[in-house]
Amino acid sequence: MAYLRRAGPRQTELLLSLKTPIVAVLAFAFLGEALSFTEVVGITIALFGICLAILFGSSDQETEANRRSGGLMAIVLLALIAATSQGVGLLVLKPLLVAGTEPLAASAVRITGAAFIVALIGLMPVSAVQASAQMSWMLLFRVVLPGFIGYGVSVSLLLYAYAHYDAAIASILGSLSPVFILPLLWMRTGNMPRPLACGGALLSLGETVVILL
């Protein structure tokens, strides 16, 4: 959240895509997962396409809220911490998933533990973790719904991918969200994405198919 506040959504998605090479290196070092040359090339091209979709996926008229408001070094540092934390958090579960643990059950335990820790942190008498807005039913709904979709549904499905594919391949599959957001933004705003964004989206989807086949 600190990273998102400083960098804005576009830079957040871009730098969090670093999770894929980080996961690939950690999986090779600690789990012995070695990718073939074709898979490495496919993941690299798909990652390049995702970056194109993120960089050129919005118009020139960005709002001030979406612009970077923090220092570059702080943004990069927070991005590396966030990407590494996500990768490590999923890799820790990989041996359990391969051993036969139900991904949905693993996701439930993971989310419950995270919610408990976050709730404890929220109770601390520190201004940095205190709510700055008055709680309302609409605000609660807007917080709970994305959390359910993003963590309850998407992470559970991502764990199924980690259970059946190499970690780096599962990670690149989980990084395709900016690609699928493009048509949703087109329908919502009426503004067609830039050609480079569309090309990046098609490139990443095509390479993902090649990787899986």
Tens-digit pLDDT profile for residues 114-151: 888 888 887 887 776 676 777 788 888 887 888 788 77
pLDDT at 207: 77
Cα angle: 191, vertex 20, 51; to 5 degrees: 25
Tell me the C-alpha distance between 71 and 111, whole Å. 31
The amino acid that residue 150 corresponds to is G
Q: Where are the alpha helices (DSSP H) in 56-155?
A: 72-98, 103-122, 137-147
Provide the number of structural domains found in the chain: 1
Phi, psi of 26 (to 5 degrees): -65, -40
Tens-digit pLDDT profile for residues 63-101: 444 444 555 677 677 777 888 888 888 888 888 888 888
Tell me the C-alpha distance between 163 and 103, whole Å. 8
Residue 43's domain spans which residues? Answer: 2-212
| % of the chain with per-residue pLDDT over 70 | 82
